[in-house]
Structure 1
Amino acid sequence: MPVNGLSINLATVREQYNMRQAVDACLRQDIVAIAPWRDQVHAIGLAEASRIVAENGLKVTGLCRGGMFPAGNPAARATAIDDNRKAIDEAAALNADCLVLVVGGLPVGSRNIAEAREMVADGIAQILPHARSAGIPLAIEPLHPMYAADRACVNTLEQALDICDLLGDGIGVAIDVYHVWWDPKLEQQISRAGAAGRILAHHICDWLVPTTDLLLDRGMMGDGVIDLRGIRRSIEAAGYHGAQEVEIFSAGNWWKQPGEQVLSTCVERFRSVC
């Protein structure tokens, strides 16, 4: 029987498998929902990736990632807009639930984070009509403040929802526990997101103590300090009942384990601690 309510972000096994192999491994574990990354799709070709999704009846809970809007000159910002439109088309071809946006940090040499956030809002506004016409919701993923300079200058759920409110329909949020678990306004902002129908994705992993690498040392659910069940209760109380998507970057541990072991552990922890 399918493992209902569980999706695997294919970054979790990116060192073990290409997309085709990852899908086969997921199916052996009765996992029927995935979230690929664009580089994984490009490696086998969009047509082949779409065929794999369709022929196996997979649910694509998101495509990672669009975004990276801020840049130091208009030409670079225009290039980012063009790439995001391509990402929207790819998400549509995969019948993805949303395109996840990691919005980008400060342009090189900049110390103006407010300006970077303005570039983010402007960039999303430029691609939003294309996303609406393609039927692909855009999911802003706020990232932990440690990534504000280089990956995402939108760092709280509140900031992401403010952009959503500014831009209107067709945009929401991806709530990744790794990035938001610490936020004292989290429960309030989850309720706000739910009331507006803005919750598009729910990503899970765990925060290890100590964390030895800010990017590549995420923990398996249950191995860290995040109140996974509490956050899930808040998200479900807010009206979102979609899949929990496991997204683990783990250069020192899980990327070194056999893929089947990683996936079976994801299933076991999803059932026991999430």
Structure 2
Amino acid sequence: MTHKKKLFFLSFLLLIGVIFSGCAKIDQAKVKLGLKNNDFEYIKQGKIQKIVIQNTRDPGFRFVVSDKKAISDLYDILSGAKEVKAKTSLEPDYVFEMQEGPNKVYKFNYVTGLGKSDGGNFYSDGKIYQVSKQLDSDIISSLWTIRKPKEFQKIYYGMILDEVEKYSKGDGKGKSIGINIYDDTDVAKFVFSQDLENLKYDLKDKAPNAEIKQVIKDKNTKEKEYDIDMNIKTQGYKTFLYKAEITFYNRKDKTEKKHYIKVSDDEKIGNWQTQVFDKKPDGF
């Protein structure tokens, strides 16, 4: 090796050392400022073999992530999460299981779509973090293989609001109404806690005698009873079509009233039309 080559090689090693030393100092400063955490270094170190992301409302809907680039992207997001003291009061939408091996799994609950003022949205039994919405847009959204109806939130929750508002002012006037969303299994994967919270808020204005039924997890806890049970059952959907059957069941006189609802955008330009039938139409 010539003298010039030796000098070049030594200079290169020195430059690399300075760069990595500088990066380390920057990372340390970020940790002190709360802009970075070191709690997920086991991901960066390549110890995680795969990550299982399980939807909490649909047991059959889950993602398995083993791609190294996707796992690295997840590390970038989680290492930038801020540790906080209090978690959100909302129910988790997903459970993340980071598998280092068959007997070592890091498990976290995750609530989608929350802002910085809404409390910790990514948490385990030991720690709570505020995670960027990038986790939704960059990781989870890239894994979706099922197409939900366009503007699902607007269509689905708008339909529920319209139906319960009309019923609460008619046959359900003065009666308590319990809305059962959790048994609508066909779209359970599309239902998120933040959307349910928005629906609760809208119900106070549109139908104050109605509320969303709670999921009873404790066998010793008795389910709250309402005068009227409102049950939603999705009957099919495509990108520009949604169909549902809604049943209002009167617990006192054991009678029920059914509505068949079709929401469609035939021109595919965002001009959604809603049709409501008292009897099941042909081909519904």
**Which TM-score bucket, shorter chain as reference?**
under 0.3
TM-score normalized by the length of structure 1: 0.24
Q: Compare relative contact order (CA 8 Å, sep 6+) and give the higher one, 1 or 2.
A: 1
Q: Which is higher, the Rg of structure 1 or of structure 2?
A: 2
TM-score normalized by the length of structure 2: 0.23
